[in-house]
Amino acid sequence: SLTGSPVTLKILQNWVPRVSHYFDKEHYTYVGHQIVIQESIEHFGAVVWPGALALSQYLESNQEQFNLKDKKVLEIGAGTGLLSIVACILGAHVTATDLPEVLENLSYNISRNTQNLNMHKPEVRKLVWGESLNEDFPVSTYHYDFILATDVVYHHGALDPLLATMVYFCKPGTVLLWANKFRFSTDYEFLEKVCNIFNTTILAEFPESNVKLLKATVRKN
């Protein structure tokens, strides 16, 4: 079941329009840093979706509530890497993950936007939801303070593996922050499953873009 009354927010226009020879580069400003994101029209994962903007904005504005400094952060379905870059700027040890075909663009964006900053060097890794989790991320070695996920739920057939991945990485003490544009009945069905498994709070809603931002933690037995 859901707890808490969410704040109602608007996604701010944090991108900076530029005259650019590349139609595929977007400029954003978060936490006082200009971030340049190269998008790709070839993959779903290589476009900045509204959930990433919503959660980036929320983390920037709520640094006392969610202090990422020196915390271990895993982003699943990192896409273009915008949110992972923001988490890096906020001082986290970031591991950004996605499907193999997305990693080249993801790595490019993350290295380009973090290379000259005095922060923990981010890591980019392959993660296919529900596959080889224990081999690639053994529980004995990997424990994350925060799991970040944005717009990972849409019309696709991997919702059960996605949920299994969230459950796998969410240990006692881990906070899952999930922002999603809610479009389809399947999105709400997934939300219901999350609420049945975790302690879930809606932190914020962005009505103009149909984005909800949720916090989930493991239930104490």
CATH dotted code for 7-218: 3.40.50.150
pTM, two decimals, is 0.90
Task: State how far Cα 125 lies from the chain centre.
Answer: 14
- The answer to whether 20 touches 36, Cβ cutoff 8 Å, is no
- Report domain extents, the chain: 7-218
Residue holding tokens 């994962």? 45
Question: How confident is the model over 15-69, as pLDDT tens digits?
Answer: 554 444 444 678 899 999 999 998 876 665 567 889 999 999 999 999 999 999 9
Give how far Cα 114 sits from Cα of 44, 99, 117, 212, Å.
Answer: 23, 21, 5, 28
Question: How confident is the model over 141-197, as pLDDT tens digits?
Answer: 999 999 999 999 987 789 999 999 999 999 999 999 999 999 889 999 999 999 999
Q: CA 153 to CA 183: how far, in whole Å?
A: 9
